[in-house]
Structure 1
Amino acid sequence: MGNKQEELETCVCLQGCDLIGITETWWDSSYDWSVGMEGYRLFRKDRQGRRGGGVALYVNHQLECMELCLGMDEEPTESLWVRIKERAGAGDIIVGVCYRPPDQGDRAAEALYRQIGAASHSQALVLMGNFNHPDVCWRDNAAELKQSRSSWNVSMTTFSSK
C-alpha cells in the first residue's frame, strides 16, 4: 500500500464507500503515521515476523463498530473481524478481511476456516480477501488442486451449515 495511499483516498472520496478492505498491505509500525483516512476508523492486522502480507479495514466513522477476537487462541492467521452494529432493526453485520498466503500451512488454513465458520453464524456476513486458490471455479464449485479442494470443501461446509 505504501505508495498507493493517495490513490486510495482519491477513489474513496469519489465513490463514498462505507467499508474498504485491503489485503497484502505490507504495513508495519513505520506506517502508523500515514495510513489513517479522514472520516474512517482503521482496523489493521500486520504480518508478524516477516515482510509482506497484512490486512486492513476502513469503516466509515458514522457506523458503530467494534473489532472481534475470533480464533485468538489458535494458529495465527492474517484475518480481522469487525462487527457493525445494527441500524433500524436490520441486525448486526460481521465483516471479515482475510489473506491466505500461497504457502500457508494446513494448521493456519484450518484456523482461518474455523474463524469463517464462527463468523458465518451471524445474521449477515461480508467476507472479503485473497484466498489464493486460483484454480477454484466459482460457477461449478470445483477445484483442480488437492489443496484447494480440501480447503474449499471445508469453507463450503462452513457456509452451508446455516
Structure 2
Amino acid sequence: MVGYRFFRKNRQGRQGGGIVLYVNDQLECMELYLGMDEELTESLWVRIKGRAGAGDVIVGVCYRPPDQEDRADEALYRQIGAASRSQALVLMGDFRHPHICWRDNAAEHKQCRKFLECVNDNFLLQVIEEPMRRGAMLDLILTNKEGLVGDVKLKGSLGCSDHEMVEFKILRAARRVRSKLTTLDFRRADSGLFRDLLGRIPRDKALEGRGAQDSWLIFKGHLLQAQE
C-alpha cells in the first residue's frame, strides 16, 4: 500500500491466515523480536519512535486461534510480559476469550482465567467496552498506560467479515489522570508481619460451610484488618 510500511507474520503449518500491521511511512519504526517461542504464536510487535518530547510506543498485533495449546498461550504471555515493560504499549487483536467479564474482572474457564491473570499481572487496561461479534468480546485493545488510547469507535463490518472494525487513537502525550483516591504505599509495608498476620487466620474453621461469596467477605475482612 502506497504511503505505508507493512509488517506481517504468516500462519505456520496452515494455508492462508496470518496477521499484518501497516504503519505510516512518515513514522520511524522497527519490528521487535522478543525471542520467546515466537514460532508458536500469531503475534508481531513493532516499536514506533516518538517525535521530539514523546516516548516510543510499542504496538502489538495478535490472533489467538480458539484451539490454541497451552504451550502457545504461555509463549504469548511471556511476550506480553516482555512488551509490557516498555513505557507505552498498545496491544490489539482477536484473543478468543469470550467468557471473560471485563466489568467484574472475572472468568470461569481455565484458559480465560490464565489470560486474565496475565493482563492483571502486567497491569494492562482493556479499553473495549462493547461486544463486537455475536454478543461476544473477542477483539480487545490492551494498554499499559492510562490515557494512551482514546476515541474508541466501532465502525461496522469490513466486507464479509463477521468481526467489526475498531477505530481508535494512540495519544502520544498520554493524558495524566489525577486520582482523588488516597492509597497506601505498600513499598513501605512490613511484608513479613503482613504474611504472619494472614497466616494466623483459622481458615478451615472460619470458612467451614461457607459459600464463595461469604468466604471472600470473611477473608477480605481479615485482609483489611491486617492491612490496618
* Both proteins in one fold, TM over 0.5: yes
Q: Say if 2:12 and 2:39, in contact at 8 Å, map to a contact too.
A: no
Match for residue 97 of structure 2 among 105, 110, 133: 133
TM-score by length of 2: 0.52
In the alignment, structure 1 segments of 5+ residues that lack a partner are 1-36
The answer to whether 1:112 aligns with 2:83 is no
Post-superposition offset of 1:92 = 0.6
Larger C-alpha radius of gyration, 1 or 2? 2
Q: Distance in 2 between matches of 1:73 and 1:95?
A: 19
Matching residue's letter, 2:5: R
2:116 corresponds to which residue? Answer: 152
Matching residue's letter, 1:119: A
Q: CA RMSD in A?
A: 1.9
Change in Cα spacing, 1:101 to 1:48, as seen in structure 2 (3 Å) is: same
Identity %: 75
Secondary structure at 2:112's aligned position in 1? helix
Change in Cα spacing, 1:74 to 1:45, as seen in structure 2 (3 Å) is: closer
Q: Say if 1:66 and 1:84, in contact at 8 Å, map to a contact too.
A: yes
Q: Distance in 1 between matches of 2:36 and 2:111?
A: 24
Post-superposition offset of 1:91 = 0.6
1:15 corresponds to which residue? Answer: none
Post-superposition offset of 1:38 = 0.9
Q: Say if 1:53 and 1:101, in contact at 8 Å, map to a contact too.
A: no
Secondary structure at 1:159's aligned position in 2? coil
Post-superposition offset of 1:137 = 1.3
Q: Distance in 1 between matches of 2:61 and 2:86?
A: 15
The answer to whether 1:103 aligns with 2:67 is yes
Q: Say if 2:37 and 2:75, in contact at 8 Å, map to a contact too.
A: no
Post-superposition offset of 1:56 = 0.6
2:26 corresponds to which residue? Answer: 62
Post-superposition offset of 1:152 = 1.6
Give the alignment of 1:33-44 within 5 angstroms.
Answer: 37-44=1-8
Post-superposition offset of 1:73 = 4.3
Q: Distance in 2 between matches of 1:156 and 1:59?
A: 29
Q: Distance in 2 between matches of 1:84 and 1:53?
A: 25
Q: Which has the larger displacement, 143-152 or 132-141?
A: 143-152
Matching residue's letter, 2:27: L
Q: Distance in 2 between matches of 1:52 and 1:155?
A: 29
2:15 corresponds to which residue? Answer: 51
2:211 corresponds to which residue? Answer: none
Higher RCO structure (Cα 8 Å, ≥6 apart): 1
Post-superposition offset of 1:75 = 5.4
Matching residue's letter, 1:84: I
In the alignment, structure 2 segments of 5+ residues that lack a partner are 125-143, 146-228
